[in-house]
Amino acid sequence: MQRIRQRWEIQKNWQFLFPILGVLFTMLASYLIVRRFLHLFGLNNTTFEWVFTIGVTAVIYYMLVRFFLWCFKKLENKWKVTYKWEMIAIFIVFAITGSLAGKLAGPLVEWIGLGKGTVHHIVYWTFRILIIFPIYQVLLLFIGWVFGQFIFFWNFEKKMLKRMGLGFLVP
């Protein structure tokens, strides 16, 4: 426990929440990827289902953890955060925001009246991708605030909008 506390610069016990959430969400992502493979290879309801699920989940989990640690190392100097545990919180916010924006865009496009059955699929996907952008911006700030990283994401938003030529939208 002391090793984790030192590695992630954890000062208070509640900050252990972020490494724990990181591990749990990475395990969940690994499991969901493997479940997709099961359907793809037709291994559902076979004797190999659980052996395949547990084994491949462990391998994918290991690969994801290695990838995330590599990302932390690369972004450590670029993103100005006080403690390393905040990096985990930031990664979690990005993951939740991206997934949620993608999920919310579909029903919103349907509600507008540009559903899959009413317009050509190119029009549907174009509008869906265009709608993801504003949803993502709002969710990024809100979910960042929930995870205690509002200032980081507010600065991130301003920088991104300025680079896109939309700097007039922010003060």
Residues 139/101, Cβ–Cβ less than 8 Å: yes
Q: What is the rounded distance in angstroms from the CA atom of residue 119 to the CA atom of residue 158?
A: 35
Residues 127/121, Cβ–Cβ less than 8 Å: no
The per-residue pLDDT for 21 is 92
Crossing angle for the helix pair 17-41 and 85-112, nearest 10 degrees?
Answer: 50
* 117 and 165 together in one domain: yes
pLDDT above 90 (res 8): no
The per-residue pLDDT for 1 is 78
* 90 and 52 together in one domain: no
* 73 and 90 together in one domain: no
* 72 and 90 together in one domain: no
Average confidence (pLDDT) over 10-16: 88
Q: What percent of the residues of the chain are helix, what percent strand, and what percent coil, each to the nearest 5?
A: 80, 0, 20
The per-residue pLDDT for 121 is 82
What is the tens place of the pLDDT at every residue in 22-78? Answer: 999 999 999 999 988 888 877 777 777 888 889 999 999 999 999 999 998 888 888
Residues 26/65, Cβ–Cβ less than 8 Å: yes
* 51 and 96 together in one domain: no
Structure tokens at 135: 């949803």
Taking the CA atoms of residue 116, residue 101, residue 103 and residue 37 in that order, the dihedral angle to the nearest 10 degrees is 110
Predicted TM-score (pTM) of the model is: 0.81
Q: What is the rounded distance in angstroms from the CA atom of residue 162 to the CA atom of residue 168?
A: 8
The per-residue pLDDT for 12 is 87
The per-residue pLDDT for 110 is 86
Domain boundary among 78, 107, 123: 78
* 64 and 85 together in one domain: no
* 68 and 37 together in one domain: yes
What is the tens place of the pLDDT at every residue in 82-127? Answer: 888 899 999 999 999 999 999 999 889 888 888 777 888 888 888 8
Look up residue 155 and give its amino acid: N
Structure tokens at 6: 């030192």
Question: Per the structure, how many domains does the chain have?
Answer: 2
Residues 22/86, Cβ–Cβ less than 8 Å: no
The per-residue pLDDT for 89 is 92
* 109 and 163 together in one domain: yes
The per-residue pLDDT for 10 is 86
